[in-house]
Amino acid sequence: MGQDNKITSDTKTKILDVAERMTQTRGYNGFSYLDIADEIGIKTSSIHYHFKNKDDLAIALVNRTIDDHSQGFDNIEKSIELPQKRLQAVIDYFKGYVKEQRFCLCGMMALELLTVSPKVIELVNIYFKNFENWLAKQYKAMGKTNSKALALSFLSALEGSLLFARLNNEPEVIDRALKVVMKT
């Protein structure tokens, strides 16, 4: 019985991994369960076993992103002493998306706002609020009195510059876009 649970868990993880990559490269509406099934080599019924519908899949993807990024922020705080260097670590992480021809999953979901469920929108809002609060904490640690405004500026510049950077396959665009916010 334990082996069956591992296979089920592995299949679910593979589904999420492929769906995440497809969302980040094509957009959430740019693929179907059949696309995922074809890539993994399973039947669509196997996907429906784990995620009844695409909304369930979207919810799982956003929840996983919230958890992954929250853990990432914790790791940055534990391993990097200076808040300025923490902000740079975030920039470097997002530059990795461009190198992989991807986009921020929650940014992509926000772009498709009119076609995702209210629950997905709620979770995407939680993701961005958590991100903004973490950024504000870094600016506050730097002694900035306008930490909330700087956090919003950083986040907006980061998500916007991802579009331009990915369009031209030029990760350095993100550095240039955030230079002002980093020096503030």
In Å, the largest CA–CA distance within the chain is 57
Q: What fold does the segment set 54-183 form as a domain?
A: Tetracycline Repressor; domain 2 (1.10.357)
What's the CA gap between 12 and 171, in Å, rounded?
A: 31
Model confidence pLDDT, tens digit, residues 7-52 = 567 999 999 999 999 999 999 999 999 999 999 999 999 999 999 9
Which residue is listed with tokens 């808040």? Answer: 83
Kindly give, in sequence order, each residue whose CB lies less than 8 Å from that of residue 84, ignoring residues fewer than 6 positions away.
142, 182
Q: What is the pTM of this model?
A: 0.92
- Please give the single-letter amino acid code of residue 100: E
Q: What are the domain boundaries of the chain?
A: 54-183
Model confidence pLDDT, tens digit, residues 126-169 = 999 999 999 999 999 999 999 999 999 999 999 999 999 999 99
Tokens of 116: 């995702």
